[in-house]
Amino acid sequence: MAGYFEEHNCTPLPDGTAPDALLQYARFLAQSGWSAVFEEEFRNLMDGIPAPPASKALVANLPRVEITKEDVKCPVCLKEFDFGEEARELPCQHRYHTECILPWLQKTNTCPTCRHELATDDEAYEAQRQYKARAKDRARDLEMLHNSMFG
């Protein structure tokens, strides 16, 4: 009959060391299903937080573009663009007066027109954004797998 450590494929702790209580607690949460409850609570908590400002580096490097005939009005101030005037263009291709978009991006990280999210300097917010994107990808992959099996 195999001993405990051989059966569980692990080694005993060296003499004089104690088990890591935090690691044991994390394992307990993961194995008992409570981690899903905490994950949901964390998601609800993060959903109520307003978006932080756009990244300073991104804002400083927004391309300056010349207004063409297709550009009619600045969506922030609703004033008409002057042909040949300089504007700032967001990654989503929307154009704004410099004096309109810079204060906007100092308050939030979204395009005023399409709500495209820009990068921020807030690490926690970026981690939550990545988590949401991965969750959306997993749901899409699961749906595709389900459809390939049963569709």
C-alpha torsion 28→32→35→38, nearest 10: -110
DSSP lists the bridge partners of residue 117 as: 110
Which class is 56-105 in CATH?
A: alpha beta
Q: Where are the beta strands (DSSP E) in the chain?
A: 64-66, 86-89, 95-96
The per-residue pLDDT for 4 is 82
For residue range 22-36, list pLDDT tens digits in order: 888 877 877 887 777
For residue range 106-123, list pLDDT tens digits in order: 999 999 999 999 999 999
**pTM (two decimals):** 0.60
What are the angstrom distances between the C-alpha of 70 and each of 5, 63, 113? Answer: 72, 18, 16
